[in-house]
Amino acid sequence: MRVLVDSGVLLRLLNRADPLHADIRGAVRRLKARGDELLTTAQNIAEFWNVATRPPAARGGYGLSIAETEHRLRVIERLFSVLTESPTSYTIWRNLVPTLAVQGVQVHDARLAALAQAHGITQILTLNVADFLRYQPLLVAVHPQTVP
């Protein structure tokens, strides 16, 4: 199965001090062990870079240096394939936002749902399961703590 990995999971996977680090690392290992293909998006990578390099005093930033962020990004790129956008994903997104009344910051999740649908992905590994409920059954959100 192909599983999309959200930015919150990417951030915590490489942050040993995070309380969810062990759960996320275990979930990624279990998914890989059962042969699932784990993927992420350029959008998730940009969100990762944003939070990783943002000062800690500014909305939960990690305050990492460019060099450390680059190192962590290389690890992510080894673990997960990065999906590209396509005209199909834009068309899907364009239909989703008015149909599901998507507004504000929710547009980012709609982009992920559209990319997933365009690439035939039916699951997303995320810490924000509730944010993706509107996209079921096309995209099912799975929290790392619930991965068998």
Is 59's pLDDT higher than 90?
no
Q: What is the predicted pLDDT for the residue at 104?
A: 94
* Cα 22 to chain centroid, rounded: 17
pLDDT confidence tier of residue 58, bands split at 50, 70 and 90: confident
The pTM assigned to this predicted structure is 0.92
Is 57's pLDDT higher than 90?
no
CB–CB of 25/131 below 8 Å? Answer: no
Q: Examine residue 137 and say whether the peptide bond preceding it is cis (omega within 30 degrees of 0).
A: yes
* Neighbouring C-beta atoms of residue 101, cutoff 10 Å: 9
- Domain annotation for the chain: domains and CATH numbers: 2-84+121-146 (3.40.50)
- pLDDT tens, 63-119? 999 999 999 999 999 999 999 888 999 999 999 999 999 999 899 999 999 999 999
| CA atoms lying within 13 Å on the CB side of residue 17 | 1
